[in-house]
Each structure stands twice: as structure tokens, then as C-alpha cells.
Amino acid sequence: MNPDSLVVENLGKVYRKYASELQRCAGWFGVPAKPLAEHWVVRNVSFKVARGEAVGIIGQNGAGKSTLLKMITGTTRPSEGRAATFGQVSALLELGLGFSPELTGRENARHAAGLMGMQGSEIDCLIPRIESFAEVGNYFDQPIRTYSSGMQMRVAFSVATAVRPEVLIVDEAFAVGDAYFVHKCFQRIREFREAGTTLLMVSHDASAIQALCDRAILLDGGRLILDGLPQEVFDYYNALVAEKENSGVRTERKDGLVVTESGSGEATFEQLAVLDAQGQPVQYVEVGRPISIHARVRISGEVPRLVFGYMIRDRLGQPVYGTNTHHTGQALEGLSAGDVVDFHVRFPVNLGTGSYSVSVALSSTETHLVKNYQWKDLALIFTVANVDHPTFVGLVHIPSQIEIVHTAALRWAGR
């Protein structure tokens, strides 16, 4: 038996644009035609997935994830290289395909199972299993058009996973539906995993990939950038996203749309970083851990008074916390060219999970309106993850203790 259930070798997909579609058609019969433009969506991607392994594929929109999955599934043919799967493959790229609204859930389930290549007798055996897993009750014999979208997903997922495949390919398909059924879906995928199914999963959801996958692959611009442990790959991915976000802001500034970068420049930030307790730069920080924001400022002119301010914003740009050295009574006075000032802002990360940005400013007073040396939005970006605290929601972490007093009801003996 082959130790790998999926081998991808130098896989590539190109979309070609021709001056006329007739040239494309001529190309099928060996008539060479030069395409106007070539667009490689995926190129030089190679990896192997061992039997029973679970691999997550991450990447930004347009990184080539879907194309890669389509080539592995077989709906799209690779332009170069090969993708070989060993054993029965089941792909959940989209649920509810081929459902027709006038037919009942049962008829649609039979039809979808046929689409997956099952024979009549096989389907007969599976229908009870599908019905009980979907839990849509009497609706199973009602037309699909009377279903809510959640119920439709239930039937679709039940059919798609009625038989345990050797290789399961999942594309965030089941991220919808009610929480109960999402749990059930994950449970079924976990059962498949335990029984030896190889899993390939595309998701933006870090927690889903970390919970289910042994390994992760990062795609960017159609190329494989990193192949490693999910945590490592996600760190790198976040850095990549942060970098892109920053560069996005920079171009905006050039157009003069965002005036906040303004500053006279007598004092400028030379270095900015988020550091952990050991003084190492980090992108990913855990709830409750101490971190510090470090800013090194170089003075290049007369600065009679210098106030350093910072503000932490959530991913929507709402201020979470901010203050400055004027309010804390630490304003510096009488600086001159050549001076270097280091600011260390130390605090515990009592923030909810998610992505945060830091804006920093240098001015002469508590507001930057009087004399503004430099102001930077989105100067730093870090992501907060909850690793060892009980799960919580919201923007802030407020550690608490829940006291429970349980008074048992009086029970008669023998009952």
C-alpha cells in the first residue's frame, strides 16, 4: 500500500488568453498559437500528504488555494506537473450542488449520492444513515424549496460524508449553519480522521486548522511559501498579512488621502517593535502575557518639548487604549539634534483574541495640533491568541472567578 495518499509534484495551472477563441480551438489539434497573455495561478507547488495525515492550506484571497484543490479533486486539469491521489476521494468544495428545489430531501439525497458515483443498491443502504444524521425530521420527505438554508446544508453534508473516504477535501464549506450542526460536522470529520482518513482543508479560520491539522501549507501568489506546523505557518501568514496591510496604507498616504502621517520631522521614529518578555519581536501574543512596545526616536532638530503617545486599536480601527507621556507626566524638554530616545511601553495583554494595530505619535503637547513631529497609523500589528485561559468573548480580558453554590434538592430514599 502506498504510504502517501496524496502526491503533488511541480503542479501548475495557467490561464491563457488568446487573441481569438478560434486559436484556442486550433490548439487542440496541434496548431500552435501564441497566447496574448499567460496567467499562472499556481506554479511549482510540490508536497506530499501521508496516509492519515491532516493538512491545512492557508493563504490570502487569490493565493491559488481553490485552484489547487480543484486540481487535486480533478475538476480542473493541471497545466503542468501532476496531482495524484490514492484511494477514494471525497471533496466538499460546495455543499448542495445539484439539488433541485422541487424534489424532496430524500430524492435529492439519492441524486447527490449518484453524482458521487454510488450505485442504486449502495444508496438504498445509505439513505437511513443520511436521514438520521441530517436530523431534519419529517422535512426529509418535503420539497427542498421549503427548507431553510441551514436544513439544506444538513442534508447536503450528510450525503457528502455518508461514506468514509480515503481522502477528504474540505473548503470551508460547512462554516455555515447552526452551531450544533457545525459541531456535528467537526465531530464527523474527527471520526474520519481517527479511522484513517487523510484530510486536506482550506480555511481562514486559524482555530479550525489548529484543531484538526497536523501540518499547514502556506500559499501566496500561487506558490508554496511554507510547509510546517500550523502554529508556525499561521505566524508567518499573519506577518505576511500585516506587511500587506502596512504597504496598503503607505500607498494611500502617497495619494494624500490620509493626512495623519504629517509631521515636521524634527523627531522621527527610527525603530518600532512589539517585544515579548524576553525582548524578542513577536507577531502573535498570548492573552495575559506581558509585552512591550519599543520605539526608538531620533532627534534631528531643535525639540523644546517632546511628548510620545501611542494608541492600540482593534481590527475595525476603534481605539482600545491610548495615552501619552504628557498625561503620565514624563514629557521630555530641551532635546537637540543627534539625541536618541528609547521608549518602552510595558503592559500585560489583557485583550480579547484578534488582530490589533498600534498608532504612535511624537508631538510637543498632549495634542498633536500644536507641534506635530511625526504620527504613524498602523505602525505595528499584532495578533492576540488565547492559549491557556478559559474561552471568552469581547475586546478585553477580565480574569474572574466564578463561585458556585449548589444546593441539592431533598430526595426521598429509594426513589
Partner 1 sequence: MSELVKAAWRYRGFVRSSIVNEFKSRLSRSKFGAAWIVLHPLAQALIFATILSSVLAARLQGIENKYGYAAYLMAGFLCWNLFVEIVQRCLTVFIDQASLLKKMHFPRITLPLVVIGSALVSSVALLVVIMAIFPILGLYPSIAWIWLPVLLLLTVAFAAGLGLLLGTLNVFVRDIGQVMVVVLQFWFWVTPIVYPVSIIPEHFKTTLAFNPMAPLVGAYHDVMIFGRPPSNNLWITVAATLVLLSASLVVFRRASPELVDAL
Q: Which residues bind partner 1 (CB under 8 A)?
A: 15, 21-22, 24-25, 28-29, 70, 73-77, 89, 91, 93-94, 97-98, 100-103, 107, 110-111, 114-120, 123, 143
Cβ at position 22, least distance to partner 1 in Å: 7
Residue 324 beta carbon to partner 1: minimum distance, rounded to whole angstroms: 54
Q: What distance separates the 2 farthest-apart alpha carbons in the chain?
A: 92
41 residue type, one letter: V
Contact assessment for residue 175 and residue 204, using Cβ atoms and an 8 Å cutoff: no
Work out how close the CB of 173 gets to partner 1 at its nearest, in angstroms, rounded to a whole number. 9
User: Is 3 or 120 the residue whose CB approaches partner 1 more closely?
Assistant: 120
Cell numbers for 219: 500559499
Name the β-bridge partners of 168. Answer: 90, 199
CB-based contact 294:341 (threshold 8 Å): no
Nearer to partner 1, 106 or 296 (CB): 106
CB 182 within 8 Å of CB 214: no
Kindly tell me which of 115 and 277 has the beta carbon lying closer to partner 1.
Answer: 115
With a CB cutoff of 8 Å and minimum separation 6, the contacts of 95 are 152, 153, 156, 157, 160, 173, 174
Which CB, 82 or 346, lies closer to partner 1? 82
Place of cell 504613524: 376
Q: In this complex, which beta carbon is closest to partner 1, that of residue 166 or of residue 377?
A: 166
**Shortest Å distance, C-beta 164 to partner 1:** 18
Strands 319-324 and 303-314: antiparallel
Residue 162 burial by Cβ neighbours in a 10 Å radius (0-12, 13-18, 19+): buried
**In whole angstroms, how close is the CB of 86 to partner 1 at the nearest point?**
15
124 or 270, CB closer to partner 1?
A: 124
CB of 120 to partner 1, least distance (A): 5
Beta bridge partners of 271: 296
251 DSSP β-pair partners: none
